[in-house]
Structure 1
Amino acid sequence: MLRFIVLALVLLNGLYFAWSQGLLRAYGFAPAQQTEPQRLGQQIRPDAVRLLTAQEPSQSEAPRATGKPTACLQAGLFDATQSAQLRRTLAVTLPAGSWSLEETLEPARWIVYMGKYANAEDLAKKRAQLASLNLKFEPLTNPALGLGLSLGGFSTQTAATAALDAFSRRGVRTARVVQEREEVSGTLLRLPAADEALRTRLDELKPVMAGKAWSPCR
């Protein structure tokens, strides 16, 4: 019995080998041919295949432009009268949905202040002294405080006083804490996605901007 099983396995292996090698093709038993003619027949759109040069792969992998760059811009604050006039002008000047007017509460601001100085020459001397101490200063937003310098703005008087103490330890002797502005409410104009085309039209708004300058959104 065992001899019969061994002979059967040998016979089956021999038949499989002959079939896989195509030796039985004349009798209609053989696997599908995988030579080039048959593979060409299975290709999809072979006419679209072409060889690339050494430079072309990097060019094809280059990122495509996603569109014109945009930036978020804002200006303000505007009072009720200014806002009403601005809204009417925006409605006929800029595309709908490209702008918004938002009611905003701007907190009070304290600064570490130096000044006022008698003239521009004295102001320039103080700037040079601060530069020698590696101290930076900020532009003033309150015209009543010019000719003067701000060493930094703070949302609370306590924070400004702490900063003044730190400046004193670095050699600043004539600075003091002043309130640059009180808490104020108003309307903020925002352009959330201003592209180049929209920015070229901003000059048309100048007559109703009340002297407010554009700045990046925060």
Structure 2
Amino acid sequence: MLRLLVLLLALANVAYFAWSQGALAPLGMAPSVQTEPQRLATQIRPEAIRLLTADEARQLENSGSAARPANGASATAEAAAECLQAGLFNEQQTTALRASLEKALPAGSWQLESSTEPARWIVYMGKYSSEEALAKKRNELRQRGVAFRAVNNEALAPGLALASFALQADADQELARVASKGVRTARVVQERAEARGQLLKLAAVDAALRAQLDALKPQLEGKPLRPCL
């Protein structure tokens, strides 16, 4: 019985091998063939495909590199245009500035608009009697890890501003915080009062317009052009 079972298994293996190799195809017994003729039908001139030589590949790369600078230069030129603003200007300054702008710049390239500059309150230390005293105080603040800057109000100079705020209440809170770090002689003062005037805005300043603006610096009254807010 065991011999018969072994013989049947051997015959089954032989039959499977013959079937998988297509030997039984004349009898209508063969495995199905997986093909995708539709892919061949969609190929476009496959006989035209060839490998590039090293020289051809180098020439193709060089031609692509030659085209890039022009595109890059165009993108850089477009990116160079930016919105700039300067101000505030009081009524007298605005009158003189408007006349200069109308003569020097293209129409529509600039505008003057009403604006308000909020008051500025600072946590202040000073005035100091000498530059030596000021330098000593700077070193003390660095050791305590307290940030500072020079004041922008000549009446308060030489002095230091430890923080700036639009509201006095916020400055009072900061004063209490720096006091906890051992800063005992600071106080809250108003560095700048609220101001109203005209703001110069140039929506798209490119290289050509920037060159024209250089001639207008005297009319800007020392107010720098900065990115629009």
Q: TM-score, normalised by structure 2?
A: 0.66
Measured in 2, the distance between the counterparts of 1:91 and 1:184 equals: 25
* Secondary structure of 1:171's aligned partner: coil
Measured in 1, the distance between the counterparts of 2:136 and 2:196 equals: 37
1:186 is matched with which residue: 191, 194, 197? Answer: 197
Paired position in structure 1 for 2:161: 150
Residue deviations 1:77-98 (CA, integer Å, cap 9, x gap): 1111110110010111122222
Please state how far the C-alpha of 1:61 moved relative to its aligned partner.
7.6
Q: Provide closer, same or farther for how the CA distance between residues 139 and 197 of structure 1 changes in structure 2, counting only shifts above 3 A.
A: farther
Residue deviations 1:107-159 (CA, integer Å, cap 9, x gap): 11111111111122221222222222232223423221111111111011110
2:222 is matched with which residue: 191, 211, 214? Answer: 211
Measured in 1, the distance between the counterparts of 2:140 and 2:106 equals: 49
Matched ranges for 1:64-103 at <5 A = 64-65=72-73, 66-68=75-77, 69-103=80-114
Q: Are 1:168 and 2:184 counterparts?
A: no
Measured in 2, the distance between the counterparts of 1:200 and 1:140 equals: 32
Q: Which runs of 4+ in 1 moved over 6 A?
A: 60-63
Identity %: 47
Q: Provide closer, same or farther for how the CA distance between residues 217 and 141 of structure 1 changes in structure 2, counting only shifts above 3 A.
A: farther
Paired position in structure 2 for 1:22: none
1:197 is matched with which residue: 208, 223, 226? Answer: 208
Partner amino acid, structure 2, of 1:81: Q
Paired position in structure 1 for 2:132: 121
Please state how far the C-alpha of 1:64 moved relative to its aligned partner.
3.5
* Secondary structure of 1:202's aligned partner: helix
Q: Provide closer, same or farther for how the CA distance between residues 159 and 35 of structure 1 changes in structure 2, counting only shifts above 3 A.
A: closer
* Unpaired stretches in structure 2, ≥5 consecutive residues: 1-40, 49-55
Paired position in structure 2 for 1:104: 115
* Secondary structure of 1:201's aligned partner: helix
Measured in 1, the distance between the counterparts of 2:150 and 2:212 equals: 27
Q: Provide closer, same or farther for how the CA distance between residues 162 and 197 of structure 1 changes in structure 2, counting only shifts above 3 A.
A: same
* Secondary structure of 1:213's aligned partner: coil
Q: Provide closer, same or farther for how the CA distance between residues 179 and 35 of structure 1 changes in structure 2, counting only shifts above 3 A.
A: closer
* Unpaired stretches in structure 1, ≥5 consecutive residues: 1-31, 41-50
Please state how far the C-alpha of 1:205 moved relative to its aligned partner.
1.5
In the alignment, is the contact (CA less than 8 A) between 2:151 and 2:158 conserved in 1? no
Q: TM-score, normalised by structure 1?
A: 0.69
Measured in 1, the distance between the counterparts of 2:130 and 2:215 equals: 36
